[in-house]
Structure 1
Amino acid sequence: MEFTPACSVIAPRDVRYGHQDHSRQLLRKSRRGTLVRLHKARYVETGQWQNLDQGDRHLLAMKAVASAARECAPLFSRESAALLWRLPIGVLPETVQVNIPPGSGQRSHGLVRRRLFPCLEDGGDLIEGLSVTGKIQTAVELTISQSFPWAIAAMDRLLGDGAKVEEVRVAILRMPTRPGPRKPSMVLELASAQSMSVGESISRANINLAGLPAPSLQRCFLDGHGLIGFTDFYWEEFGLVGEFDGRMKYRKDEYLRGRDPAEVVIAEKEREDRLRALGLKVTRWTWETAISSEKLRAHLLQAGLRPVGSSQNRRSR
C-alpha cells in the first residue's frame, strides 16, 4: 500500500488569524464543510480527505492522534501498526489502535481505542514519524483481532519477510493469560514463509477450515522441455495442482514483466497444458472462492480432493 504524502493534519498552531482563537476558526471551517475534524482540534482539508482511500484516512487519523498527544507519544498497535508494517489486514477498524502501559489511567475515547497490553519484544519502532509496536508483536496481536484466514496471511507475510519462528514463539509465550497464546500458537503452527500472496494464504487457511488435506506449497515441476514452474498448491496423493488466480498477475508490472495481459494468459495456458501432460489435474480459483471456506471446499471436492480422514484418503496412504 502506498500512502498519499501530500495530505497533512491541520492543528491550531499551524494557522495564523492574528490574535483570534485559532481553534474556533478551525471549528467554524469544519462546520462550513471546508475542513474535516479528525481528533481534538486536528483537521484535514475536505477535498483532500475525500480523495483518500481507507488506509490513507486511517494513517492521517493516527497522525492526528499523535499530534494531539500532550505527554508521551502514543504506541500504535494491531491494525494501525500493521498498516505501516505493510502486513495484510482483513478489516481495518474505524478507531485508531493504541497500546498503553499498566497504571497509565488512559481510556478509550472517540477515535482512539486503547488496550492494556505488554511489550512482547524489545522496544517499538518509528515509521513515518509514528511510534508502533514491533513487527513481530504487531503480527501476533493481529492473530487475536483478525479472523483466522487474515491472521494466517499476516503471519505468512511476517515469516516471508524474514522473521524466525522461534522469535515469534518467544513473543507469543510472553502474552498475558488473557487473551492467551492459544490462537496465535495455532496460527504460527500453520503459517508458512513459502506463501507468495495474500490470496494463497487466505486459500490455505480456508482449506484448513474446510477440513481438507494440507497441500504442499511451491512444488517445482519439470518435463522433457525443462522447467514448467512452481505451483501454488499440490496434493500428491490426489495428483491435483491448485492455483490461486489473482487478478494482479494480469495488471501489475512486477507480474507482467514487460508482457501484455494476453501474453500472460497464453503463457499460463501453456504451463497448465504441460502440467496436465504429466498426468496431473489442475484446478484454479479466484478471490471470490478463496475467501469462503464453503465455496473453496465445494470447488476442491469437485476437482477430486477428499476431506481429511475420508476412506479414499486413507486408502491413498
Structure 2
Amino acid sequence: MTPRVHARIAAGGGVIRRFQLLDLGVSPSEIRRLINAGALVRLRRGVYTSRELWESLDEYVDRPLLLARAAIATMQRGWVLSHDSAAHAWELPILRPAVPLVHVTRPGFTNAWTEYGVRHHLARFSSRQVQQAAGLPALDLARTAVDIARERGVADGVVACDAAMQRGVTRGDLEDAYAIMAFWPGVRAAREAVDLADPGAESVHESLTRLLVIDAGLGTPETQFPVRTAAGVRWCDLRVGNHIVEADGHTKLRPVAEGGVAPRPAHEVVAEERKRERLLKDEGLGVSRVYWEDHWGARRAVAIRRLQREAAETAALHGAELSERLAREADLIRAEYGERRRRPGMPA
C-alpha cells in the first residue's frame, strides 16, 4: 500500500476501484496479495478500501455509508442514494434495520428488488429532490424520511420524520414528498408517520418514548415543556396532563469527550436529576422515566402498564388536565426564550 494508493482512497471518499489501482501501477497479482494480506478490504466486486480505514469506522453509520459509496461508484443510469443510505449520508438519525442494506433509487415504475446486499428501488422523483450529501447524489431529507416510513413502518418513519423536522424540514415538505405516492406500497404508514411527527423530539429515544406514551392511551404528548421551578426553568421531554415523561439514556451520563452530553461526572448528573425530579413534583407534576430497553419486547408492555399506573396516580393527585398556572407559566417562558431546541444554551 503506497502513499499514492492511500491518497487515492482518501480522494475517493474512502474507496478505490480496481482500474484505479492498475492505473497507479499496482499489478493484478499485487492486488490479490494485498487482499489476502488484509491490507485491502473488498467492499464489492472491483471496489476496495484500506483495512485501517474500515476498522476505524463504526458499524451503524460509517460502514454502511462506505458500502453505499462503493455501490454507487459502480452504477450508472441515474441511481441515487435513498432510504437508509441517504439517511446515513445526511447524518439523519434512524433506527437500525433488522437487515442492513444499501438503498438506491432511479426513476421508473414502482418496483424493488434486492441483489448482493443492495436494495434497488424504481420510483418517481423530481430532479429538485436530488441533492448532494456526503459528496454523493441522494434524495433529499423529506423524501428520505417518507421512504423509510413506507419501507419500514410507522415507528421507523416517526423517528426519521422527527429527525428531519429537527433539521428544518416542515410537515408540508413531508406531505409534499408523499403526495405522488397515493397507491404506492406502504404509503399509509408514511401518512401516519408524518401526521405523528414532532420536531420537539430531540433524539431517537424521545421519538420512541412519545410513541410509547401514545400507545399507552395517555394522549398525544407535548414535547419540550418548560416549568418554572424554585431553582429556575426546567425543560421536560414530554408532558401529558400534569404528568411528565422523561426519556433517560446513557448519553446523559456519558461525558462529552466520549460522545455523550454530560458536563459533569455521572454521579453528579444522577444527583442533579433527582433534585430536578423533586423540583418538578413540588410544582404539582408527576414524573415517569423511560429507558431505552423499555421500547423492546416484553419490556415494552411492562413500561406501558407502568406509565398508565403512574399517570393515573398523578391525575388523582393533581387532576387530569394541565393546571392553568403551569400552562400560563409555560406560555410566558416560551414567549421569553422561544423553544429549547432553538436555544441550546438554555438550562436543561
TM-score higher than 0.5 here? yes
- Map 1:81-96; keep pairs closer than 5 Å: 81-92=86-97, 93-96=99-102
Question: Contact 2:103 / 2:120 at 8 angstroms: preserved in 1?
Answer: yes
Q: CA deviation at 1:263?
A: 2.9
Separation in 1 of the partners of 2:302 and 2:112? 44
- Map 1:44-123; keep pairs closer than 5 Å: 44-54=49-59, 55-69=61-75, 71-72=76-77, 74-92=79-97, 93-102=99-108, 108-119=114-125, 122-123=128-129
Q: 1:302 aligns with which of 305, 309, 315?
A: 309
Separation in 2 of the partners of 1:247 and 1:274? 22
The answer to whether structure 1 residue 235 and structure 2 residue 235 are counterparts is no
Give the aligned residue type for 2:79.
Answer: P
The aligned counterpart of 2:287 is 282
Separation in 2 of the partners of 1:235 and 1:305? 11
Q: 1:160 aligns with which of 166, 175, 179?
A: 166
- Map 1:158-237; keep pairs closer than 5 Å: 158-179=164-185, 181-223=187-229, 225=230, 227-236=232-241
Question: Structure 2 vs 1, CA of residues 135 and 14 (structure 1 numbering), >3 Å: closer, same or farther?
Answer: same
Q: CA deviation at 1:176?
A: 5.0
Q: CA deviation at 1:188?
A: 1.1
CA deviations on 1:265-315 (whole Å, 9 max, x unpaired) are: 222222111111223222212111144531320221232349xxxxx9xx9
The aligned counterpart of 2:331 is none
CA deviations on 1:126-155 (whole Å, 9 max, x unpaired) are: 122211111110011011223432221111
- Give the match's secondary structure for 2:128: coil
Separation in 2 of the partners of 1:103 and 1:261? 53
Q: CA deviation at 1:243?
A: 0.8
- Give the match's secondary structure for 2:276: helix
Give the aligned residue type for 1:61.
Answer: L
The aligned counterpart of 2:252 is 249
CA deviations on 1:6-35 (whole Å, 9 max, x unpaired) are: 97223223325998863x643454345443
Question: Structure 2 vs 1, CA of residues 37 and 269 (structure 1 numbering), >3 Å: closer, same or farther?
Answer: same
CA deviations on 1:186-240 (whole Å, 9 max, x unpaired) are: 11111111112211101111222343422222222124x363411112222xx32
Moved more, 135-144 or 276-285: 276-285
Separation in 2 of the partners of 1:191 and 1:17? 50
Separation in 2 of the partners of 1:290 and 1:20? 51
> What percentage of aligned pairs have identical amino acids?
26
The answer to whether structure 1 residue 40 and structure 2 residue 52 are counterparts is no
- Give the match's secondary structure for 2:162: helix
Give the aligned residue type for 1:136.
Answer: A
Runs of 4+ in 1 over 6 A off after TM superposition: 17-20, 103-107
Question: Structure 2 vs 1, CA of residues 122 and 73 (structure 1 numbering), >3 Å: closer, same or farther?
Answer: closer
Moved more, 289-298 or 74-83: 289-298
Structure 1 unaligned blocks of 5 or more: 307-311
Question: Contact 1:39 / 1:111 at 8 angstroms: preserved in 2?
Answer: no
Q: TM-score by structure 2 length?
A: 0.75
- Give the match's secondary structure for 2:206: helix
- Map 1:121-140; keep pairs closer than 5 Å: 122-140=128-146
The aligned counterpart of 1:264 is 269
Moved more, 89-98 or 195-204: 89-98
Question: Contact 1:89 / 1:146 at 8 angstroms: preserved in 2?
Answer: no
Give the aligned residue type for 1:248.
Answer: T
Q: TM-score by structure 1 length?
A: 0.82
Separation in 2 of the partners of 1:241 and 1:207? 11
The aligned counterpart of 1:309 is none
Separation in 2 of the partners of 1:170 and 1:95? 26
Question: Structure 2 vs 1, CA of residues 148 and 63 (structure 1 numbering), >3 Å: closer, same or farther?
Answer: same
Give the aligned residue type for 1:99.
Answer: T
Separation in 2 of the partners of 1:65 and 1:297? 42
Give the aligned residue type for 1:251.
Answer: R
Separation in 2 of the partners of 1:83 and 1:130? 11
